[in-house]
Structure 1
């Protein structure tokens, strides 16, 4: 749509979508109350950390595993929905993990929310938008100068564990 703009998947929204849209296939209560079932749903989410070239094989193995699962009947529609609803590029975060980039869009959403609060109008003029963007830029620039650099929230230990897993 926009030249030079790259789509980035958000693992948080993938999780939210699977739990909101997939699990309600009659299994929401089971998901909320059964650790073993929740773990199996999370196996589907773990595919997001699988290298793209290994994804087809991993999904096939997961399907075979789920066929023998205690929850096979509940997992089949969830797997079908996941396979049909999510294209690889929209949910696979392996490139982000390997390049140590955020797996969520939380910072972008935070900025958007902050900008909405700064504008404080439902239909601002273009001038109000420009003024608000300038103010937010000045605040962000000041924070960067005070902190030296933008601080990463994820701990180094957490980053290393995730890299070892993938």
Structure 2
């Protein structure tokens, strides 16, 4: 259920982390300490929490899902891997790299022209579209009074 915290409004993350953490037995203390320090922020002596290692805006996707934005940067990683494959060498010469970048630019210009003409470029696989729709439906139906069920449902749909 910890993964579900990424799908909560930021205002609810702290209290719901404490709620979820309370359901674990003592054998999970090291995991929870790591999670709290890295992603949530350790409690301060007075009130509030210390800054976590990774800021909440880096991993919280609630607002992105609500506004129909991608939850990850996988498309960027995919492009980078494809471009590296097209370059085909670890350390290309400036001339070869410039040539590959120009070809890539030409490809993008064609893609942009197709988009402007109304074409859809490489549609997302149906299984991922359905997954995104399920997650969006869950997130839009978020009810803080049903937090346990919400986190279980999110966890059932999200795999690492």
1:97 CA displacement? 0.9
Larger of the two Rg values belongs to structure: 2
Matched, 1:85 2:38: yes
Shift of 1:158: 3.8
From 76, 89, 92, the counterpart of 1:124? 92
What residue in structure 2 maps to residue 137 of structure 1?
105
**5+ unaligned residues in a row in structure 2: which ranges?**
40-53, 140-160
Q: Match for residue 119 of structure 2?
A: 148
Distance 1:99 1:130, change over 3 A: farther
Partner of 1:111: 79
Q: State yes or no: 1:63 paired with 2:46.
A: no
CA 1:118 to 1:151, structure 2 compared with 1: closer, same or farther past 3 Å? closer
List gaps (5 residues or longer) in structure 1.
Answer: 1-42, 67-71
Q: Counterpart of 2:134?
A: 161
Residue 120 to residue 93, structure 1, CA distance change in 2 (3 Å): same
Deviation at 1:143, TM superposition (A): 4.7
Q: Aligned equivalents of 1:123 and 1:74: distance in 2? A: 47
What TM-score comes out, normalization by structure 2 length? 0.62
In the TM superposition, residue 132 of structure 1 has moved relative to its aligned partner by 1.3
Give secondary structure in 2 for the equivalent of 1:65.
Answer: coil
Q: TM-score, normalised by structure 1?
A: 0.60
